[in-house]
């Protein structure tokens, strides 16, 4: 599958994919009540913090460190997702949250895509409030995260790659940041807010438009790129957008700003 699929495509292939609802909110609201209030028929709900992030006592590795491959696999198995199941994921934010799952699956060679436009693409009259029938038990093989697609905080500090920050322009520039201890960005980073790739309906820009956006940040077909955000979630949407534009593959800094800003020895930029 391509990294983004339309609602029309989903309707045509509905029986061939597992549909996953991943609603998660920066302000701390739980996503499950929103799912229970109305979701696309047949979609199962996935808790980002339980399946797509490792448990941790502090945020020294970031607010959403990557889970172990075993934790990721067992979380998917609990939803009835196996090695042979293609996945389409959505949220109510144009895919910037659900992108974390899609990128993780694609990184290990699994067939996965974002529903372009997410929940907005589905008629509100056809949203369900009941839980779908549980899927049969499944086996999902734990696979190591590909080292060539990830970077550490020290890699970022030494990199000559183009470093792009997916957060909004205010947080990048050093405006109020209620989530992390210091405001600003990693020195040398270019601000490419991933939400600006979306039109008013929450759908991804065309490959041509994305190539223009990335070109303005100094990114061309052969440019090595590292993507980060607040905690390694919305950065994945930029990685999928790069793929959609025919660029990349690029690499993810999972710790992102939430790790960098917690290390007092790391410099920050605000311009």
Catalytic residue IDs: 229
Q: Tell me, letter by letter, the H, E, C secondary structure of 216-242.
A: HCCCCCCCCEEEECCCCCCHHHHHHHH
User: Cα separation of 95 and 22, whole Å?
Assistant: 9
Task: Tell the burial category of 205 from Cβ atoms under 10 Å away from its Cβ (0-12, 13-18, 19+).
Answer: middle
Q: Where are the beta strands (DSSP E) in the chain?
A: 4-5, 17-21, 44-45, 86-90, 112-115, 162-165, 190-191, 225-228, 251-252
The H or E element that residue 157 is part of is helix 153-158
């Amino acid at each position: 599958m391509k990294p983004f699929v339309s609602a029309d495509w989903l309707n045509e292939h509905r029986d061939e994919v597992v549909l996953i609802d991943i609603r998660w909110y920066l302000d701390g609201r739980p996503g499950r009540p929103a799912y229970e209030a109305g979701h696309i028929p047949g979609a199962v709900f996935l808790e980002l913090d339980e399946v797509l992030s490792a448990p941790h006592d502090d945020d020294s590795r970031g607010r959403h460190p990557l889970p172990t491959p075993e934790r990721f696999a067992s979380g998917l198995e609990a939803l009835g997702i196996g090695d042979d199941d293609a996945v389409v994921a959505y949220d109510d934010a144009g895919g910037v949250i659900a992108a974390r799952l899609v990128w993780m699956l694609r990184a290990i060679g699994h067939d996965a895509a974002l529903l372009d436009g997410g929940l907005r693409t589905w008629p509100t009259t056809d949203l369900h409030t009941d839980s779908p029938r549980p899927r049969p038990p499944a086996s999902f093989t734990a696979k190591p995260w590909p080292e060539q697609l990830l970077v550490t905080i020290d890699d970022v500090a030494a990199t000559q790659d183009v470093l792009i920050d997916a957060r909004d322009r205010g947080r990048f520039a050093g405006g109020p940041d209620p989530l992390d201890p210091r405001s600003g960005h990693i020195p040398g980073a270019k601000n490419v807010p991933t939400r600006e790739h979306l039109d008013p309906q929450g759908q991804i820009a065309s490959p041509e438009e994305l190539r223009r956006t990335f070109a303005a940040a100094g990114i061309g077909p052969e440019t090595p790129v590292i993507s980060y955000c607040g905690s390694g979630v919305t950065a994945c949407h930029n990685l999928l957008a790069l793929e959609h534009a025919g660029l990349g593959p690029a690499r993810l800094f999972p710790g992102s700003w939430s790790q960098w800003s917690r290390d007092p020895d790391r410099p920050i930029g605000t311009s």
